[in-house]
């Protein structure tokens, strides 16, 4: 049972990264909790609405948004995904190519697993 739930969350997190890469606001909205928060390594916080607006306006065009390593840990109705992410693309006209670590927290709700909190590291050194 727990392995099945971990596989569901792993698949959901991979699906979320694919939605980000495609600037698929509807796909992202289906996974994000309404009160979602992302905190970056630079200390900036983003809400669900912030991320959906970025996707709608295509503020970033991704060539890569790929999880290179992924580990899911379950704690009852909470799951924490830790992954190494490779991002490559163009943001505000400037190219970027970086790897960073992130932790995504999911909570099992009556509507299924929802992504409630994310925290991203600074870009890793080359």
Tens digits of per-residue pLDDT, 22-76?
999 999 999 999 999 999 999 999 999 999 999 999 999 999 999 999 999 999 9
Looking at residue 27, its pLDDT comes to 98
Distances (CA, A) of 73 to 13, 105, 110, 112, 116: 13, 10, 20, 17, 15
We find that the CATH architecture of domain 2-120 is Roll (3.10)
Instruction: For residues 96-119, give the mean pLDDT.
Output: 97
3-state DSSP call for residue 6? helix
Enumerate the domain spans of the chain. Answer: 2-120
Residue in 11, 28, 29 with CA at minimum distance from that of residue 19 = 28
CA distance 85 to 18: 12
109 with 86: CB under 8 angstroms? no
Give the Cα separation of 34 and 75 in Å (integer). 22
């Amino acid at each position: 049972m727990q392995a099945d739930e971990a596989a569901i969350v792993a698949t959901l997190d991979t699906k979320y990264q694919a939605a980000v890469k495609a600037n698929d606001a509807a796909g992202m909205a289906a996974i994000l909790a309404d009160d979602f928060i992302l905190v970056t390594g630079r200390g900036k916080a983003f809400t669900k609405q912030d991320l959906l607006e970025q996707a709608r306006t295509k503020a970033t065009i991704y060539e890569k948004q790929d999880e290179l390593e992924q580990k899911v840990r379950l704690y009852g109705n909470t799951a924490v995904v830790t992954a190494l992410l490779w991002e490559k693309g163009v943001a505000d006209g400037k190219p970027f190519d970086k790897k960073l670590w992130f932790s995504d927290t999911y909570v099992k709700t009556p509507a299924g697993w929802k992504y409630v909190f994310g925290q991203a590291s600074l870009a890793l050194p080359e």
